[in-house]
Structure 1
C-alpha cells in the first residue's frame, strides 16, 4: 500500500482548478485563495486526508481518486469521506475554517464571529464540527458549529481559561485541555468534568498545546501524544510519542516506535490510530495507522497531519 500511495502522490493529474477567495472578516481586505485540483471517479468515497508540503491531499484507499488543495492546512476528512474541513490563512495572519464537498467541489467558509479559528474535527455523525477559536478577549476557546453553518456556540465563553486541541469524547461530549487539566464539555458548551493531567497520566509526560487526547474502545482507553523519555540531540529535546492509557487501571503503553518523533495524531471513531512521524535523522515524515494493540502499518511515504474516514 505504501508504494501505491507514494506513486500516486508523485503523479497527480490536474484536470480542474477552482479558486475560492475569502476573508475571515468583512472589514479585512486581505484575501487568501485555496486552490482545488481534482481527478474524480464517481461513487468512490475518500478514505484519507493529509498534508503534503504546502498542499492537502485527499485520496481513496485504492488511490484511484484524489483531490489536492493548495493554500490550505489542517485537513479533516468527514466520517463518510465526502467532505473535507480545512484552515485557510490570509496575508494578515487571520485563520478561518472552510468545508469542501469532495464530489461537487463547492467550498463554504464557516462563520465563527472571530478572525482566528482553526483545527476542525468532525463529530462521528458528520453533523457537527469543533475547532479552536480566539474570542473577543483573545482567549482560546472551543467552537462548535453544524456543517450547514448554523448553531455556532463558543464553549465556556465567559471564563479566562485558555483551552486547546478539542476532540470528540463521545457523540455528545468534547474534550480539550489547558496544559494542566483535561476538560469535558457537553454540546451546549458547559464544562461537565475536569481531570488534572498529573492525576490522569502522571508526571512523566509533557504536554504542549497541540497535543491531543482521544477516547477510544467505548471510552475505556485514552489515546494521546506527549513528550517523554530522554532528550534526543537531533531534536534538541524529548521526542513526541503516541500512547494508550487504560482508563480503569491507568496503565500506559507506547503505541509509536521509540525511534519515532510524532508530529500529529488522529483517532477515528472506529478506533484506528493515524499519526505522522519521522525516524532518525528526522528529516522525512511518514504517515502510519495502528490498531489499539499497536500493530502499525505505513500508509504514506511522505506526509503529515493525517485524518481518516470511517471504514
Structure 2
C-alpha cells in the first residue's frame, strides 16, 4: 500500500511539474523578447532575438535568431520547458516567422541566393520540411495566414497575393486598389479578417513625420472598396496584428521615439494603450 501511495504521489508531482504554461502575448523590449500572461499579470523575458510570434495556443514562441556571423534563421521556444530548437529552413537568410491559426505550420521570409530574390516558405511542424510556395513570383514579402490555415497572404509591393499551400495563386489584388497611403514596403504585412472580406495593413501616409512620412493602420472593405483609418492622426502605426475583432499595432506619437502597443476596433474606435515601451506584438488566438 505504501508503495502504491508513493507512486501516486510521484505521478501527481510529475504532473504538476509538467503543467503546460500558456501566455497571451509576445513582444520585443530593449532587454529582449518577452511573453505576458493576463491571468498571472506577469511578464517573462524568454530570449534575445527579433520578430516574436506566439503560437495560437500560447505555449510556444517562434522568432528570428541572429548568429554572430550575421546569418538569420528561425527558432522555436517551448514556453513550458524553455527548450530551444532551430527549424531546418535550408537557408542562412530567413526571418519573420508567423504561425498558422491551427498551429500546424509556420510561414516566413526566405532569400533565394541563386535567384537573388525574396520568397515565402512554409514549414509543416509535423515533418519539419520547408517548401517555397511563391515560386510563381519574383519577389514576395511579409506572410500572413487565412483564418482556416489553408492559404498565405503576401505581397510584392505592386500586388497582394493569396497562395494556397501548394503554391497556386487563388486570389490577387492590386496594391493601388487596396492601399490608401503611399504604398507598401517589404515589411508591411496584409491581414485578412476571419471572413476574408476585410484587409488590415499599415503603410506610409503623406503627412508630416519625425524623420519622414509616418505610417498608419487601415482596414479595407473588399466588397465596398472603402477604407477606414484605424490609427489616429498624430500617431504612427506599424506591425498590425489581428485578434478577433480588434487590431493591435506598434505605435506612438509621431514626435516621440517611444514605441508602445495599442489596440483599436475594426471601426477605428476605442483606441487603447495595451503595453508601453515595446514593439512587434503578437497574440494567441485560441
The 3-state SS of whatever aligns with 2:52 is strand
When residues 154 and 69 of structure 1 are mapped into structure 2, their CA distance, relative to the original with a 3 A threshold, is same
- SS of residue matched to 2:207: strand
C-alpha separation in 1, matches of 2:35 and 2:129: 28
What does residue 75 of structure 2 align with? 98
The verdict on how the C-alpha distance between 1:250 and 1:230 changes in structure 2, with shifts beyond 3 A counting, is same
Q: Say whether 1:279 aligns with 2:253.
A: yes
- Which whole-Å CA distance do the structure 2 matches of 1:130 and 1:52 have between them? 23
Shift of 1:151: 3.3
> Once the two structures are superposed, what CA deviation does each residue of 1:108-156 show, in whole Å capped at 9, x if it has no partner?
1111111111101111111111000112322110010022452321113
Find the aligned partners of 2:58 and 2:192 in 1 and give their Cα distance. 21
Within 5 A, what are the aligned runs for 1:128-277? 128-137=105-114, 138-148=116-126, 150-157=128-135, 159=136, 161-171=138-148, 172-201=150-179, 204-232=181-209, 234-235=210-211, 237-268=212-243, 270-277=244-251
Judging changes above 3 Å, is the alpha-carbon distance between structure 1 residues 173 and 288 closer, same or farther for their aligned structure 2 residues? same
**Off by >4 Å, runs of 4+ in structure 1:** 40-44
Q: Distance in 1 between matches of 2:254 and 2:100?
A: 35
Given that residues 261 and 282 in structure 1 are in contact (C-alpha distance below 8 angstroms), is that contact kept between their aligned partners in structure 2?
Answer: no
Give the 3 Å change call, closer, same or farther, for CA 93–135 of structure 1 in structure 2. same
SS in 1 for 2:177: helix
1:273–1:292 Cα contact (<8 Å) kept = yes
Where structure 1 has 5 or more consecutive residues not aligned to the other structure, the ranges are: 1-39
Range with greater deviation from structure 2 (61-70 or 177-186): 61-70
Secondary structure, counterpart of 1:125 in structure 2: coil
SS at match of 1:264: strand
- In the alignment, is the contact (CA less than 8 A) between 1:223 and 1:244 conserved in 2? yes
TM-score (norm 2): 0.87
Asked if residue 80 in structure 1 is aligned to residue 57 in structure 2, the reply is yes
Larger radius of gyration: 2
Distance 2:237 2:102 in 1: 28
Q: What is the CA-CA distance between 1:217 and the residue it aligns to?
A: 4.4
1:198 match: secondary structure: helix
With 172-181 and 255-264 compared, the bigger mean Cα shift is at: 255-264
Alignment partner, residue 36 of structure 1: none
CA RMSD of aligned residues (A): 2.0
> 1:292 aligned to 266, 272, 279, which one?
266
Q: Distance in 2 between matches of 1:41 and 1:296?
A: 38
How far does the alpha carbon of each residue in 1:64-120 deviate from its partner, in whole angstroms, 9 at most, with x for none? 444313421110001100010011111221100011110111111111111111101
Name the structure 1 match of 2:6.
none
Length, aligned pairs only: 267
Counterpart-to-counterpart distance in 1, 2:66 and 2:271: 33
Q: Greater CA deviation, 242-251 or 133-142?
A: 133-142
Q: Distance in 2 between matches of 1:120 and 1:272?
A: 21
* Rounded Cα–Cα distance in structure 1 between residues aligned with 2:42 and 2:166: 38
Q: Distance in 1 between the 2:241 and 2:137 partners? A: 28
Asked whether the 8 Å contact 1:44–1:65 carries over to 2, the reply is no
